[in-house]
């Protein structure tokens, strides 16, 4: 039986649950790389070019971990979702980078809605490559889609309930592959939760609601995930005490979008840019000062 490798980075934080439900329904074996650690980051740094952002370096480290542990590695190319909703160039180029740097077989599909290339068509292609029938693939896709819609609704409701909290509320603005990665943003989240902060996550809002709201901060922005993030600020600004931006260096879309937001929002914010030499000790000092400014009570 073919075994599919799923790197626990970048695309995983958008599609990981969907992929797992899809593969489970088709009885396809898969392996997910472990949570990020220093060894994985170091692997990626050795493989990557210097100008690549930390998130992409981390992703390449996860691919390197998987290369001898599976038959295929799942690496999509995601370029746009129509209506000026492009992705960053790393999402366009990840497949080509991996293909050129590794010898392992890849499972691949495109999302390019301008050209009619959808997630559904992509997963049909993958299912067929793995020997499944059209009926089996259709059933698996429907199953995964239903579960995904339920997750989106549940996460949105959780965020809405958090906005009603009496605690100090901070919106964390960033891409999920940065926020929840153990080597990038996760320690920041742990620190805030430890200090009794109500943490609200930009990616947990329904993007169908937040994406169009980004126009109130910028009518010209065309990066889909940046628009989702800025829209989350507009959506929640009146009900939060502050915003923390988390991005990896050097991310061009984030540097542009976050700067736009910081110039226009009317509440306190903290901008954290993480690279491969960042230590949490330095971040902790800045977080402590920010919470102190907001009047948050710190726990030793």
Boundary of a domain, candidates 121, 147, 173:
147
Query: Quick one: 46 and 86 in the same domain?
Result: yes
Read off the pLDDT band of 89 (50, 70, 90): confident
Number of C-beta neighbours around residue 38 at 10 A: 11
Judge if 97 and 184 occupy the same domain: no
Tell me what pLDDT residue 101 has: 95
Do the domain assignments include residue 157?
A: no
- Nearest to 166, CA basis, from 295, 298, 299: 295
Q: Is residue 273 part of a domain?
A: yes
Chain centre distance of CA 217: 21
Pick from 147, 182, 216: which residue ends a domain? 147
Strands, sheet with 72-74, edge to edge from the N-terminal-most edge strand: 29-32, 3-6, 72-74, 106-107
Q: Say how far apart CA 127 and CA 26 lie, in whole Å.
A: 8
In this structure, are 187 and 118 located in the same domain? no
Q: What is the DSSP string of 263-298?
A: HH--S-EEEEEE-TT--HHHHHHHHHHHHHHHTPPP
Residue 156 lies in a domain: no
Please give the Cα distance from 61 to 33 (Å, whole number): 10
133 and 170 belong to one structural domain: no
Torsion of CA 17, 57, 187, 33, to 10 degrees: 40
In a domain, 153, yes or no: no
The pLDDT score that the predictor gives to residue 56 is 97
* 233 and 179 co-located in one domain: yes
Q: Are residues 126 and 183 in the same domain?
A: no
Structural domain span for residue 233: 165-294
> Same domain, yes or no, for 112 and 205?
no
Domain check: are 192 and 246 in the same one? yes
And the tokens for 38? 């220093």
Is 277 contained in some domain?
yes
Regarding whether 188 and 110 lie in a shared domain, the answer is no
Residue 170 within any structural domain of the chain: yes
For the domain that residue 77 is a member of, what is the CATH number? 3.40.50
Residue 299 lies in a domain: no
Helix residue spans in 180-244 (DSSP H): 186-194, 207-213, 224-236
What CATH number does the domain containing 206 carry? Answer: 3.40.50.11900
Return the ∠ at Cα 250 (arms to 245 and 253), rounded to 5°: 65
Q: Is the pLDDT of residue 173 over 60?
A: yes
Alpha-carbon gap, residue 19 to 119, rounded angstroms: 11
Mind listing the pLDDT tens digit for each residue in 191-227?
999 999 999 999 999 999 999 999 999 988 989 999 9
Please state, in angstroms and rounded to a whole number, the distance separating the CA atoms of residues 147 and 283.
Answer: 36
When pLDDT is cut at 50, 70 and 90, the band that residue 296 belongs to is low
Q: How many domains does the chain have?
A: 2
Whether 180 and 137 map to the same domain: the answer is no
Q: Please give the sequence-ordered ranges of beta strands (E in DSSP) within 116-225, or none if there are none.
A: 169-173, 198-201
Pick from 94, 114, 147: which residue ends a domain?
147
Cβ(56)–Cβ(94) under 8 Å? yes
31 and 70 together in one domain: yes
pLDDT computed for residue 300 by the predictor: 45
159-178 in b/e form (b: 16+ CB < 10 A) is bbebeeeeebbbbbbbbbbb
Looking at the structure, tell me whether residues 96 and 180 fall in a common domain.
no
Please state the pTM of the whole predicted model: 0.94
Is position 188 within any domain?
yes
């Amino acid at each position: 039986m073919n075994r599919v490798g799923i790197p626990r980075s970048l695309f995983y934080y958008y599609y990981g649950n969907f992929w797992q439900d899809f593969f489970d329904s088709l009885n396809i074996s898969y392996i997910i790389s472990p949570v990020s650690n220093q060894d994985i980051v170091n692997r990626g740094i050795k493989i990557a070019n210097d100008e690549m952002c930390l998130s992409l370096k981390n992703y390449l480290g996860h691919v390197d971990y998987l290369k001898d542990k599976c038959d295929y590695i799942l690496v999509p190319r995601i370029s746009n979702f129509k209506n000026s909703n492009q992705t960053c160039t790393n999402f366009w180029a990840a497949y080509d980078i991996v293909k050129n740097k590794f010898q392992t077989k890849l499972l691949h599909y495109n999302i390019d809605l301008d050209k009619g290339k959808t997630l559904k068509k992509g997963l049909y292609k993958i299912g067929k490559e793995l020997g499944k029938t059209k009926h089996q693939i259709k059933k698996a896709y429907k199953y995964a889609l239903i579960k995904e819609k339920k997750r989106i609704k549940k996460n949105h409701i959780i965020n809405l309930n958090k906005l009603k909290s009496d605690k100090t509320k901070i919106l964390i603005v960033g891409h999920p592959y940065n926020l929840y990665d153990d080597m990038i943003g996760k320690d920041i989240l742990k620190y805030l939760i430890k200090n009794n902060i109500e943490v609200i996550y930009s990616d947990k809002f329904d993007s169908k609601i937040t994406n169009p709201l980004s126009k109130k901060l910028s009518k010209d922005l065309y990066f889909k995930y940046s628009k989702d993030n800025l829209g989350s600020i507009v959506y929640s600004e009146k009900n939060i005490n502050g915003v923390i931006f988390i991005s990896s260096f050097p991310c061009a879309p984030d540097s542009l979008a976050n700067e736009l937001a910081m110039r226009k929002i009317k509440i306190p914010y903290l901008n954290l840019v993480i690279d491969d030499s960042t230590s949490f000790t330095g971040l902790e000092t800045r977080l402590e000062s920010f919470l102190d400014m907001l009047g948050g009570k710190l726990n030793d």
